[in-house]
Structure 1
Amino acid sequence: MTTAKDLFVITLDHPGPEHAVGQGDLSLALAGAELIDLIGSGAVTVDGDRLVPGESPTLDDQLLGEAAERLTRQPPHERVEEWLWRRGQDLSAAYQAALEEDGELTRKRSGLLSFGKDVVEPVDTPGRRRAAARWEAQEPVLTALASAVGIGERSDETPGLGDEAVTAVVAAVHDAVMELEAVRQRRTIENSAFANLWRG
C-alpha cells in the first residue's frame, strides 16, 4: 500500500485521544502523503516551494496515479500548500471508498441497536499489518503526518526525515491543518455571536 493508505489505516487503528480525526485534516495529510510518494518515485521534485513535475512513472496505485496526472505541468508551477488544498478536496472519502473496494476496510454497526451508525474499521490484511509495522517502527514520515492530524505526539518538529523536499511537504501539511483549525474556530465564534444577537 501507499503512504496515504497506510496513514488512513493508522487513523482508524489509533484514533486521537480527544476525538476522531477530522475529514478535512485527514484529507490534507493524505494529499501530503501522496506528494511524498510522488517525490520518492521521481514524478515530482520540490523547487523552493513549487512542485516541478518530472517523468511520469508507472504507478501501481490508482489514486497515486491520479494524483500524478493532476500535477500542474505548465509554469508557474503550483506551490506545495496550493496542491494540498486542491488535491485534498474530499480526498479522505476517496481513500475510504478505494480501501473498502480493495477489501482493506469493512463496515459494521455501532451500538446495540440494529439501526446504529455504520463504523468503518480495518480488516486484518497484509496491508494493515504493513501499516502497523511502519507505525510500530516509528517510521518518520508516517509518524510526522499522523502527528499533524493529532495521532501520537503532536509536534511541529520534523526530525529524521532526511530529505529537504519531504520535510517541506510535512511542514506544509502541519501549517494547512493549523489553518483549517483556525477557520473552524473563527466560524464557531461567529456562529456563537450570531446566536447571541438573536437571543437579544
Structure 2
Amino acid sequence: MTTPRDLLIIALDNEGGRAVRAGEFSLALAGAELIDLLKAPTIRLDGGCIVPGHLPAPADLLLKQAAASFVMAEPFEPVGDFLWRRGEGLTQRYTAALEAEGVLARRRGNLLRKSRTVLVDSLPRCQAAERWNSAEPVLSTLAQYLGIRHHNSVDPPDITDYAVESVLAAVHGALQELEGERQRRHAEQAAFDNIWRSLD
C-alpha cells in the first residue's frame, strides 16, 4: 500500500472524530504522493521545486499518474503549486480506487439516510492500521494536520529527511491557506447578509 491509501483508510477508520473536508484531504493526499515518490526515488527537490528522475514508474496506478503529471523541463514546478494542481478531485479518485479494489464498500441507506462508503476487513486495512499504530512519522504527521490523532495522543517521531520535511511544511502551508480563504469568504458572506438585514 501507499501513504495516500493508508491515509484515506486511517481517516475512514477514525471518522468518529472531526470530519475532514475533501479539499483538505486532497491537499494531504497530493503531499503523501510526493513523499512516496521522493522515497522511490522517482523525484528529488531542488530549491523547493520538483525535479523528476528517470527511474521506472511506480507500480501503483495513482502514483504513476502523479509521476506522469510532473513538469519535465525547467522551470520545474514548486511543491506548493503541485499540491493545488494535483489535489483537485484527488479524494474522489482515491475513494473510487479503493472501492474498485474491494477495500471500501457502499452501504445502502434508507429513506432518511443516503448511501455511504464503509471499510471492509481486508489486508490493506490491516496494513494501514499497523503503520498507524506504530506512529510512523509521515502518516502520523499528515493525519495530525487533518485533525486525526492517535487514541493515545502520541506525538509523531521527528522527521530527519529534509525533502520530506519540506513537503510536509508545504502541505501544512496549503492547508492554512485553504482555511484562511474559507474564513475570508465566510466573513464576506456574513457582512453581505448583515447589509441585507439592515435594509429590511
Query: One fold, TM greater than 0.5?
Result: yes
Amino acid at match of 2:43: V
What corresponds to 2:181 in structure 1? 183
- What amino acid does structure 1 have at the position aligned with 2:191? A
Please state how far the C-alpha of 1:160 moved relative to its aligned partner.
Answer: 2.1
> How many Å apart are 1:16 and its aligned residue?
6.5
Q: Which amino acid aligns with 2:196?
A: W
User: CA deviation digits over 1:47-77, x for unaligned, max 9?
Assistant: 1211111114232111000000001111111
Residue deviations 1:93-117 (CA, integer Å, cap 9, x gap): 110111101111011145xx34511
Rounded to whole Å, the distance in 1 between the matches of 2:157 and 2:173 is: 16
Partner secondary structure for residue 117 of structure 1? coil
Partner of 2:66: 67
Take 2:98 and 2:3, find their aligned partners in 1: how far apart are those partners?
13
Amino acid at match of 2:143: A
TM-score (norm 2): 0.92
Gaps of 5+ in 1: none
1:187 Cα offset (Å): 0.7
Whole-Å Cα distance in 1 between the matches of residues 182 and 192 of structure 2? Answer: 15
2: CA distance between counterparts of 1:58 and 1:115?
45
Q: Any conservation in 1 of the 2:42–2:57 contact (CA below 8 Å)? A: no
Q: In the alignment, which residue of structure 1 is the partner of 2:114?
A: 117
Distance 1:69 1:56, change over 3 A: farther
Indicate if the aligned counterparts of 2:106 and 2:115 stay in contact, CA closer than 8 A.
yes
Q: Find the aligned partners of 2:188 and 2:122 in 1 and give their Cα distance.
A: 45
Shift of 1:162: 2.3
The 3-state SS of whatever aligns with 1:106 is strand
Alpha-carbon spacing, 1:106–1:54, altered in 2? closer, same or farther (3 Å):
same
Count of aligned residue pairs for this structure pair: 194
Percent of pairs identical after alignment? 47
For 1:106, the aligned partner's letter is A
Decide which of 189, 194, 197 is 1:196's aligned counterpart: 194
Partner of 1:26: 25
Q: Does 1:141 align with 2:164?
A: no
Question: Are the equivalent residues in 2 in contact too, given 1:158–1:171 (CA < 8 A)?
Answer: no
Paired residue secondary structure (1:64)? helix
Q: Deviations over 1:129-161 (max 9, x none)?
A: 0000000000000001111111117xxx97522
| TM-score after normalising by structure 1 | 0.92
CA distance in 2 between counterparts of 1:191 and 1:6 reads 37
> Unaligned stretches of 5+ in structure 2?
none
- What amino acid is aligned across from residue 131 of structure 1 in structure 2? A
Q: Using the alignment, how far apart are the partners of 1:91 and 1:179 within structure 2?
A: 18
- Equivalent-residue separation in structure 2 for 1:58 and 1:38 (angstroms): 9
Cα offset for 1:14? 1.2
**Ranges of 4+ aligned residues in structure 1 off by more than 4 Å:** none
Q: Match for residue 86 of structure 1?
A: 85
User: Aligned letter for 2:21?
Assistant: G
